[in-house]
A and B are shown apart, each in its own frame.
Chain A
Amino acid sequence: GAVVSQHPSWVICKSGTSVKIECRSLDFQATTMFWYRQFPKQSLMLMATSNEGSKATYEQGVEKDKFLINHASLTLSTLTVTSAHPEDSSFYICSANKGQENSPLHFGNGTRLTVT
């Protein structure tokens, strides 16, 4: 069964609004979660590493003020896309691994965001 739950699965919003995506680890505690973005027919791109109790680490080129990450508990990380624009339309996926750093990443089901 799923070990990482992501919500919502899809969302359509208007330009200028903000959208919050939740990622939960269901049966384990995740001090670290990862947020990815994937455009059609392209590879997964790591946006940021979410750290419980501290600030997220953003990859180069990702605007931290636009993509707000909060990792308030050991089982929940949220990504908020602020002032969304059509170019933010994409497939956003969170992931976490249990325990050791070389344990497999388990992915949420992803959120398809469409900004009109």
Chain B
Amino acid sequence: EADIYQTPRYLVIGTGKKITLECSQTMGHDKMYWYQQDPGMELHLIHYSYGVNSTEKGDLSSESTVSRIRTEHFPLTLESARPSHTSQYLCASSESGARHQPQHFGDGTRLSIL
């Protein structure tokens, strides 16, 4: 069973606030990912990291930023939240290796911007 944790689970906050969504994994995985998902819809990759000090933008443009200072921690930050940022944000991680390793997901943060 994968151990990947996201906090908070739910966040309702006003426009203009700075928000940080936390994601931590205890498996020592090098690779971590952030996805944005509208309820019941497809997932869109917005950021990923192949290791410490490595971050890349995903396929869907996002105003959020990420950092990877420690292997286990991959926070996502919105400097000034807007209603268009309302969505579910899912974090995932996977091992390195010659073979593809499946991604393991956290339970997500459901974000609502008023």
Please indicate whether A and B come from the same complex rather than being unrelated chains: no
